[in-house]
Structure 1
Amino acid sequence: MIADYSPRYEDLQPHLNSRQKIRIERRRPANPHLNGYLVGLSPRLGMMHCFNDFQPDGYTIFYLDDIEDIRSNEYERHWDHMLVAEGVLQGLDTVPNVNLRSMATALTSSTQAVDMLVVECEDFDRDIQDFYIGKLVSVEGKVVEFDNFDALGSWDEKTHRIELNEITLVQLETDYLKRFSRYVTGVPASQRDTASQSNQ
């Protein structure tokens, strides 16, 4: 069970909105590294504006208890210098307003800022994960309802029910998410009854 207060909270506080890049090593083999800028922090959760080399790659919400190490040294300062020179840090000034008090509030507030999310349930020991991409429907107690679309851009037949405590990572506005969502067709499962009634 994840504690209410992570010892990594104090380690990360100096990096919050510092506009200095950090590298986070995580205990989750499916996503072992996060590279970028810390733009949100609570005693349990953090949010980073991530980068894939020189490419901005949206925002990632993660649990502090999954952190193994935090690096911020001469390598990161050199990357700061290059990313400033390349003019690719605009995302630091347009951070979505996400409530990081809990994973439930992070999810619900994220959907007020963006239309689509990636939700991941990562294994602790192996490089496997349950990966969902699409629209949050609701957060009710300990269960998240989510409309997922598949690799062909089609909405799944049913809305997925995900245990809230199994979610370990949430992504917003990644390049993959933005590009893929342009080519999704059809109506999400949770909206089909409403859509069919309106056509009658």
Structure 2
Amino acid sequence: MDPLKDQTRPGQRSPPPSTANTPAKPKCKPAKPIILLLIASVAIALGVLLVCYSVLLSGRNRRVSLRYSVVIDGGSSGTRVHVFGYRIESGKPVFDFGGESYASMKLSPGLSAYADNPDGARVSVAELVDFAKGRVPKGMLKKSDIRLMATAGMRLLEMPVQEQILEVTRSLLRSSGFEFRDEWASVISG
């Protein structure tokens, strides 16, 4: 009999097909190591994204939490403006007097030199306000307070003259774009 031909005789059953010549069917078992590797990769990717998001968010919060205050010191020999950048940590201001967080400028004469011409104080204080505006981001002006504290030279002037000079400066500070209240411009005690 020819082994290549399949012959059957009457009454005989055909033999089962030979498995030697047919390829084996692969069994479909999920590969556990591949699934675990895929899950671990997704978890690591999500972890990295979370860390990146946290870093970006904390950097954004630092910038947003930076605040500014402006103090004009009306002394006897000159008038100075101090611009302070600070941030709030645990409810308290933290100042950094280096870099862009602090700036100062002095002009002479002091405010008391304008006793005979109170309107002349406007020009001097306006220059200091312009200096401060150049150090505070525009979007932060309305949120940044400005104060004027006059000292020794102004204390020597009579009250009506002090008040005239203060009213000129208050008018300027009200229109400066900074947060300002009239009581924030005053002659402080020694």
What TM-score do you get using the length of structure 2 for normalisation?
Answer: 0.23
Normalized per residue, which structure has more strand? 1
